[in-house]
Amino acid sequence: MSSQGKYLGSIRSVTALIVVAYALYFGPAAVRLYQVIHLHDEERIVENFLNMDRIFPVRTMSAPEETFEFKQSFFTLPETFSRDGKDYVTEDYLEYTQSTGMLVLRGDVNLYEKYWLGHREDGHHISWSVAKSFVSALVGIAVAEGKIKSIDEPITTYLPEFEGTGYHEVPIKDLLQMSSGVRFNEDYSDYESDINRFGRTMAFGTSMAKFAKSLTRKREPGSYHHYVSIDTQVLGMLIRRVTGESLAGYMQRKIWDPLQMEHDAKWLLDSTDMEMALGGLNASMRDYARFGLMYLNGGSFGGQQIVPAQWVRDSTTPSAPHLLPGKDNPASSSSWGYGYQWWLPEPYEQDFTAAGIYNQYIYVNPKARVVIVKTSANLGYLAERQMSKDLHIAMFRAIAASVAAMPSETMAAR
C-alpha cells in the first residue's frame, strides 16, 4: 500500500472512531440527528414520511371504538387543469409531485381515494404544517370552554415565562394569524435558517420552549403577516398550560373521539414530552378528511358542534388588510391570505386549506361542498415552493368544479 493510501486509511479509521464515540456519548440524540440530516434524501423521504415514529418519540391518540364511515361513490379526476394560461395533465402532475395519496369527498361521500409509493389506507403520514390547523381548532375549543378568556389577551398572561422574549405582550390572536412580529427565517433551503436550527433542536431533543424563548422581535405585532412556525408551537404550549393536559390528550377528547376517527394517530415529542405542535401530527388520510369535513360543516360533526361555528368562520376569513390574499400586499410576505392557522389561496374564492411543506393538504371548498386531502413527498417542493402551492390549488379547484358539475344521479352513494 502506498503512503497516501495508508494516510487515507488512517483518516477513515479515526473518523469512524469519532462517529462511534459521538454516538455512544450522545446516544439516541446522535442517531436522531443523523436521521434528521438525511430525512429528505431521495431514497429515504417516502419511507421517512410514513414512519416518523421510528425517528422521534411519539404520543399516541387512539381510535375510538365507533368509527364514522364515509358513504362511497365513484368519480374520475379531470384530465387537465389550468393555471396562468397553461394546461397541466392531472395524473402527470400527481406523479411529478411524488404524491403518496389523495382523497376527494363531496360532503360525507368518498368519491376518490388512491395511494402510491407504499402509502396505504391505514398508514400514518406526517402532516407537517397541516397540524397547525388542528392546533387552531383546539384553541377555539379552549376559548369556548372559558379556559382562555379572550384571544385579544397577551400570550404572556398565560405563559409568563415568555416575558422579555420576542413573544412579550403579543396578543394570542396575532399568533393565530401569523402576525406576531417575531423575527424568523423559514427558508428550508438555508442551512442556518431558524426553521432548520429548530430541526436540529428537535434532533437533539432540546426543549422547544427554550428555542422559542431565544427568538426576538422584528415588527409591531398585528401589523404584518409573516409565517413563523414557532407561533404555533407557542399556541401548543398555551393549550397545555390552560387545559392541564398534553396536546394529544386534549385533542383525543375534543376532536379524535367526537370525530369517530378510524385510526390511531401520533404526535412527535421533544425531550420534555411536549408535542411538536407546529407540524408533528401523523395520521391517516381518511382521518385528515374527517377533520376537513367538520370544517366544511362549520365545525359540526354527527349532529354535534365540535368547534364553535363562529371560530370556523373567523379562522377561514381574512379580517385585516395584512391578511388579505394578493401578490402585491405590502403588509404580507405571502401572496396567500391567512386566517387562524388556515391559508386563504389567491385569487380569493372563499375556499381555504391547511398546507404543509412538501405538499400536504386538507383543502376545503364550501361552494362545491368538497374536501380534498393530499399527502406527498415532493423533493422538488423547495425549488418551486409558491408555484407548487398555486398549482395544487388550481388542481383542487378544477377537481371541485368537476365534482360540482356531476349530475345528481351519478352522485348516488353506496
Kindly report which listed range (205-209, 277-281, 288-292, 401-405) carries the lowest average pLDDT score.
Answer: 205-209
C-alpha to C-alpha distance for 12 and 14, rounded to whole angstroms: 5
Query: What is the pLDDT of the chain when averaged over all its residues?
Result: 91
Q: How confident is the model at residue 6 (pLDDT cuts 50, 70, 90)?
A: very low
CA angle at residue 17 from 16 to 18, to 5 degrees?
Answer: 90
Q: Is the pLDDT of residue 303 over 70?
A: yes
Q: Is the pLDDT of residue 25 over 50?
A: no
Give burial (CB, 10 Å; 0-12/13-18/19+) of 304.
exposed
Query: Phi and psi at residue 344, in whole multiples of 5°?
Result: -120, 100
pTM listed for this prediction: 0.91
Kindly report which listed range (50-59, 158-167, 256-265) carries the lowest average pLDDT score.
Answer: 50-59
Q: Is the pLDDT of residue 37 over 90?
A: no
Kindly report which listed range (7-21, 57-71, 86-100, 232-246) carries the lowest average pLDDT score.
Answer: 7-21
